[in-house]
Each structure stands twice: as C-alpha cells, then as structure tokens.
Structure 1
Amino acid sequence: MNWLKFAPVMGVLAFLAAAVGYFVPEARGVALAAVVGFGLASLLGWIETARRYDFGLKEGERLRSEIMGLESEVVRHRDALDDLADGLDAMIFLLDQNLRLLYANSRAAEFFGITDRDGDLLKAITLSDDLDQLTMEVVRSRVGSSREVVLHHPRMRIVQAQCWPEEFGQDRLFVSLRDVTELRHLETVRRDFVANVSHELRTPMTTIRAMAETLEEGEDDGELQVRYLGKIIREVDRLTRITDDLLTLSIAESGTVQKIECDFGEIVGSVVTQLEKKAKEKGLALSFDRPVGLLVDGNETQLTQIVFNLVDNAINYSNEGEVKVTLELEHGVVEFRVQDSGLGIGSEHLPRIFERFYRVDKGRSRASGGTGLGLAIVKHLVELHGGEVGVESALNRGSTFSVRLPGRRDDSL
C-alpha cells in the first residue's frame, strides 16, 4: 500500500484521536488505539517519503552523471569531426541559411586568413561571385551542386567547389573547395607535350617525304639528288635525336637511378675534351680547371648527359668570347657551373627555361640541331640525383648555369 499519500491525513486523525481521549475519559482506550493506528500509518508514510527522497537524490545524481557523460561524448564526437574536417584535403565551410559563416576548417582558415569572422558572408571572405552564385542556387533548389571555380583572392587558385544542404535539422549549407590547380597545370603540360612531340616529329617526316617523292620522280640532276639525300639524312638524324631525348627524359622521370661511385671531374673533363673542336670551330675559348679526386655517387651515363647538354648549349648560343667550366666542392656539395658570353636569356623566359620543348629562340634552336628537350633532361636528371639546377642570365650578357649535387672528396687524398 502506498502510505505516502495518506501520511498527512493519518497525522491529522492521530492528533484528533488524542484530543478526544484527553477531553472524554471514558473513550480514552479507543482514542489511544486510534492514536497508535493513525500515528503508525503517518509514520509509515513519512518513512516512505524519506525513502523516496533518498531514491530521488540517487536518481538525480545518476541522471546528472549520464548527462555529463553524454555531454563528454558530444564533445568527443565534435572534436573527432573537427579533426576529420581538418585532415581533409579540402577547405570546408558550414553556412547558415543566409550564407553566413558558422564554421571553417583549419585549411580554409589558413588559406583565407580567417581568425574571428563567424557571421560574415561567404562572399565577403572569398570575394568570389561564382562561388556566391553556386551557394544561392543550392539555397533555392535545396539540391547539391558542384562546379569548377577560379579564386582570385587571396591568390589565384582553381578549385572544385561543391555545395549541399544539411539533410536534417536546420537549413544550413556545407561548402567544400578542393584545390585542383596543380592537376589542371599537369593536364596542360601533358596536352602541350603531346602537341609539341607531334609537331617535332611531323616536321622532319614531312620534309623527308617531300624530298623522297621528288627523288622517286626520277630526277636526273645528280647535284639535286646529293643535296636532297643529305637533307634526308640530316632530318633522320634529327628524328633520332628527338626519340633519344624522349627516351632519356622518360627514364629521368621514372624516378629510378642506379648509382655507383664516379669521378665527376673525370666526367666533366671528358665532355670538355669532346667539345673542344666544336668550340674552336666557332672561335670560342673553352676552359676547364679539372680538380682531382672529386667523387659523387651517381649514374655515369646520366651525369655525362647533364654536363654535355649544358656545355653544348653554351657553345651553340655563343658566337664569340669564352665558355668557362668550373667544378668545386664546398661543404659536401659539388657545384658545377657553365658560364658563357652568348646572347643571354630575357627575364620573362627564365621561369620556363627548363620546360619540355620550351625555346627562347625557336629558329636558332632548330638551326643548331636542338630538340627543345636538353634543359628539361638536365633538370630531371639532376633532381633524380638529389641535386638542384639553376640559371642566371640577362640579355646580351651571357648565361651561367649551375648544378649542385651531393658529393664527397676521395678519402685517399
């Protein structure tokens, strides 16, 4: 029986029975019994009250503990989501229905310099009309959408923008921006490379075909035949150089190299000796003070290719003066330099000088037998050996190409 709800009534009845017993002596026995009964009932009620109060305290404590546990779990989940958003290779935004910022992950905050801009419009942060248009379309349609957007602030980047509405709860939007600038650049390089290869191969093949057809017609002019056959041989040689350079470049870009201990001074000296005749025929002085025992770990054939391409280029693009080759070791780094007194390179060309098929002077390059791949090969081979290549140049003041490679002196010296 639930005594709790009767406890106050029983208490009152016990008090009244005691009063009756006091004022009516002949009814004291009955009154005493009533007092005991009603008092006992009231006591049981108050005991039940105390029990339930104690139970309520314990239950309240348990509920408070569960709530604190749930709050901690929510915090852990929120921190996990923050870590997930920060670990994504994308900029993430959470916007309210008015396109005002509620949240930005660390990548977005770093790129746009966001410190305390909660409540700012996304357009005020990104300064992008295209991105603003995308988010407004999603607000109206409540359907996710994506497109490629060019950002001009704070610096030019191409991003794949995706926007979608929150599925449940408030009318909020998620926006992700994934940087695809490098990917688009690589796609452009690939397209340009294919186009350039096609052009470089088609030009000599067209020449060979035209001259072969002329000879096939049975011209009796012996001098013409000799001249055409000579041109055909030169164009075939040009095709051979292009295919050889393409194969060398492909190997360099593969990222694998078999290294042995090489005397780099010996390699440079051998190349200089090989090109001395060519330099002399152009009236150029070719100098090299060869050090002794300058060792590097590398592929001898590829190191020879690096040296040959740079020294040969210096000779090709110099009409007078000197081509100076130097080689030295400083703090464990071998520095190889080729300095010429040639035409020089304009500052606008320097950032692209090591690109495949990039030519400063296309006519002069082809006339000298260049394929447009020499410096690209140098760059990839140097990087394959853990080094770096650079150039300093100005128009009509010559150029200096430098290569830095990890090296060491011969322990026997």
Structure 2
Amino acid sequence: MDVNAAVAAAAAIAGVLTGVIAMLAFRWSEREQKRPTRTSLHTDPVLPPGVDTVLSVLRSSAVVLDEADAVVKASSAAYALGLVRGGKLSVEPMLQMARDTRRDGEIRQVELDLPRRGTGRGEALAVSARVAPLGSRLVLLLVEDLTEARRIEAVRRDFVANVSHELKTPVGALSLLSEAVMDASEDPEAVERFAGRMQIEATRLTSLVQEIIDLSRVQNDDPLEDAEPVRVDELVAEAIDRCRHQAGSKQITMAAAGAAELKVWGNRGQLAAALGNLVENAVNYSPARTRVGISARRVAVPSGDLIEVAVTDQGIGISDKDKERIFERFYRVDPARSRQTGGTGLGLAIVKHVAASHGGEVTVWSSEGQGSTFTLRLPEAGAARDRALQHPDLDDEDGPTPESASYDPLPAPEVLP
C-alpha cells in the first residue's frame, strides 16, 4: 500500500506540474501574439488619431514609415508614382532622408529626378520630397510631382526667349534703316528705298505682335462661352478675301466647294483666324501659277457629326521630321522662306489651339514636292442644322451663299489622304 500511495502521489504531482506548465505556455503565447511585430505594423492602427483622415485629403503622395523602415500607410498616388514596392519605400535617397529625420527629428526637403518606370524611354519624373517626424516612432514623407509644372515652365521660358528673338530682328532692322535714312537725307532715291524697307519691317513687327496677342487670347479664353452657329461658307469666303492680294500677285488660283449649308459651333472670330491662317500658309508656300483648294464636308462619327475643312496646296511640301513640329510656336520649316513671306511661325500654333478649344483637331498630310493638305475637324452645329432643315428660308438671311460670294465655287478639290 505504501508503494501504491507513493506512486499515486507522484502521478498527482506530475499532473499538477503539467497543468501549470501548459497554463504558463498559453499565457506566454498570448503575450507574443499581442506584441507588435514588423508584419503587424502594416495593418494595426498605429497612426495617431486623425492623421489617417488628414492624409486622405492631401494632394501630395503620402508615405508613413515605422522605426524599421516598413510602410505603415501609403496613399494610392504613392503607389502610382512607384514610391512604394513590396511594403518598402523604393527610393533610396528618400529612405535615407527618413532615417536621418528619425535620428535627429529635423524636417528635410529635397528635389529629385526619378526614372519613370515602365516607359522604356528614360523619361525623368521630377518630384519634391519633404520628410518630417510623426510622433515618437513614425516618419511622414510627402512627395509632390513637379513634372508637369517644370514642363509648363520650360514652355513659358522658351516662348519668352523666342518672342525676344523674333522681336529683336525687326526692331533692330528698323533702327539700322532709320540711321541709313538720316545718313542719306540728301539722296531722295536712297531715302525712298530705305523707307520702303522700313515699311516692310514695321508690317512684320505689327503682324508678330498681333499674332502673339491672338495666341494669348485663344489660350486664355473659353471660346464656347460666346459660341454660336457659324456658317462654313462665310468662313471660307473671309479666308479667301484675306489672301486675295497675295494670291493675285503670284497668279495662284483659289477654289472652294462643298461648304454650302454646313455650320460649326464656336467663336466666329477664332474660327475665321484659324482657317485664314491655313489658307494664308497655303498661298505663301505655293509656287506661282498653282492652285489652292478649300473643300468642306460632313463626316459622321459615333459622338456626333463633324465638319471637315481641308486646305490643299501644290507647294513645296513638308518632310516627315518637320511634320512632327510644325504646330510648335515659332517653328518654321524654311526660316529663309518665312522671312521672305513675312511669316511669324505662330500661325499653325494658333490653328492648333483654336481646334482643341472647340473640341476638334487639325491634321496634316504632306509630301515633299507634291504639296500639303491641312484638315480642320470641328463639331457640327447640330441645333442650327435642324433649324435650317425645318425653316430653309432662314438661310437666306444669315449671309451670302457660295453662289453670291466673291469667288466662283468649283468642284471640290481632291483631299489627299
């Protein structure tokens, strides 16, 4: 009995010890589960109260890092810019800034050029990064995308430089010619010759200033605020009248067709300037005794009918490399010829802005030695078209028809592809 009692007592003691050990192990496991780990920092609400709400309304890309450099919170914009990958901040200079700020608590800011991932073209992404401490353990990184702002600033800087250069040429010529007139005051023939040159340079200067004003206006104004149905045949007639003198001096025939009963919706003044620039370019860059044609037609598209106005010439044509840049401000295919014709290099830029602001576009087909076709596509004035179909007698009051205009309509010139 004594042996059996001893065995039973030992078994009881062993059972108690096992239970105690199991209970201690369970408590230890609970504490381990509650202890924050690197993985749990990604999901646990460790941000100070209200910070999450503030970050959600910021326009900047926001990233919050913990003491182990793991990402606690990141905005969708941060992922879109490629700042965060695999739960880590992927930009080493920004990561080093965060570590330095965590160490000394100082706010840091820097501008960086980052490679744009996925484009394959080596484009740079310009950003401004600002790092600040957030509480005792976290660091906040705010990143602003400066790429578009830098591009606009570069365009503005180039525009100012180009304007300065273009203005300097006629102004300098006028200064020299005025000195020449003073020196030749006793020579009537020389004075007359120099005065004629001064008139040419003054006209060029006036045209340049006016086109700069026109370009600024079409960029800043909303043409659809004062939009109205505009007859295409009236725009064509106005463009032909604008270039009649230049065309006559070069014996260039201007022909138009297809514009009857077509209307577009927009600002009449801007549309007239755009089409006038296309016709003027066609005349200026065409050899003598050639033909410039203006044709118009309605094109059905899913979003609504468009009006296409094509200006075709038999001029020198445009090379493939120049076609990519001809709508840039101050770009000239042939600078020497532009000086002879008085071109400013702003005409096609104005056409592009007018087309875009009216919900349309301008395209070009050209081949060197075969001529060019510029096509202006604009939304049709649908309401005006319906009204004209219901009340055809109202068309006679709107303005001259093609038959009564000051040019003879011919069959539509061929519009090259």
Corresponding position of 2:362: 389
Closer/same/farther in 2, CA of residues 255 and 79 from structure 1, 3 Å limit? farther
Q: Which runs of 5+ in 1 are unaligned?
A: 1-73
Shift of 1:268: 1.0
After superposition, where does 1:134-173 map in structure 2 within 5 Å?
134-154=97-117, 156-166=124-134, 168-170=135-137, 172-173=138-139
Contact 1:134–1:145 (8 Å) recurs in 2: yes
Q: 1:230 Cα deviation (Å)? A: 0.6
Deviations 1:161-213 (A, max 9, x none): 112222x232x322221111121122222222222222222211111111111
Query: Which residue in the other structure is 1:379 paired with?
Result: 352
1:93 aligns with 2:58: no
**Bigger mean CA deviation after superposition, 152-161 or 95-104:** 95-104
Q: Distance in 1 between matches of 2:321 and 2:66?
A: 46
The residue number in structure 2 matching 1:317 is 285
Deviations along 1:12-61, one digit per CA (max 9) or x if unpaired, are xxxxxxxxxxxxxxxxxxxxxxxxxxxxxxxxxxxxxxxxxxxxxxxxxx
Gaps of 5+ in 2: 1-43, 118-122, 393-417
- Give the corresponding residue for 2:81: 111
Higher RCO by CA contacts (8 Å cutoff, separation 6 or greater):
2
Distance of aligned partners of 1:210 and 1:296 in 2 relative to their CA distance in 1, 3 Å threshold: same
Greater Cα radius of gyration, structure 1 or 2 = 1
Aligned to 2:212, the other structure's residue is in SS state helix
Contact 1:101-1:117 within 8 A present in 2 as well: no
**Equivalent-residue separation in structure 1 for 2:372 and 2:347 (angstroms):** 16
SS at match of 2:337: helix
Aligned to 2:268: 300
Q: Distance in 1 between matches of 2:258 and 2:60?
A: 52
* 1:349–1:360 CA contact under 8 A, matched in 2: yes
- Distance change in 2, residues 1:141/1:399 (3 Å): farther
1:181 is matched with which residue: 142, 147, 150?
147
1:287 correspondence with 2:255: yes
How much has 1:239 moved relative to structure 2? 1.2
Match for residue 199 of structure 2? 233
Distance 1:138 1:265, change over 3 A: same
Give the distance between the partners of 2:313 and 2:95, measured in 1 at CA.
54
Q: For residue 290 of structure 1, what is the amino acid of its counterpart?
A: G
Structure 1 distance, partners of 2:227, 2:341, is: 32
**What is the CA deviation profile of residues 312-335 of structure 1, one whole-angstrom value per residue up to 9, with x for unaligned ones?**
112222337653322111232111
State how far apart, in whole Å, the 2-side matches of 1:179 and 1:85 are. 16
Paired letter, 2:234 = E
In the alignment, the residues of structure 2 paired with residue 81 and residue 398 of structure 1 have an alpha-carbon distance, to the nearest angstrom, of: 63
Residue 309 of structure 1, CA deviation: 0.2
Partner amino acid, structure 1, of 2:130: Q
The reply on whether 1:202 has 2:168 as its aligned counterpart is yes
Look up the equivalent residue of 1:169 and give its one-letter code: S
Q: Which moved more, 1:203-212 or 1:345-354?
A: 345-354
TM-score, normalization by structure 2: 0.69
- Residue 243 of structure 1 deviates from its aligned partner by 1.6
Q: Determine whether 1:358 maps to 2:331.
A: yes
Change over 3 Å in CA distance of 1:348–1:225 after alignment to 2? same
Of residues 280-289 and 259-268 in structure 1, the stretch that sits farther from structure 2 once superposed is 280-289
Match of residue 188 from structure 2: 222
**How many angstroms apart in 1 are the aligned matches of 2:168 and 2:215?**
20
Residue 404 of structure 1, CA deviation = 1.7
8 Å contact from structure 2 (residues 65, 73) kept in 1:
yes
C-alpha deviation, 1:228, in angstroms: 0.7
Conserved 8 A contact 2:184-2:191: no
Aligned residue-pair number: 331
Supply the distance in 1 between the matched residues of 2:364 and 2:170 (Cα, whole angstroms): 31
Mapped partners of 1:293, 1:230: distance in 2: 44
Change (3 A) 1:404 1:212: same
Contact 1:391 1:400 in 2 (8 A): yes
Q: Decide which structure has greater helix share.
A: 1
Q: Paired residue for 1:31? A: none
1:340: how far off?
Answer: 3.3
**d(CA) in 1 for partners of 2:316 and 2:49?**
61
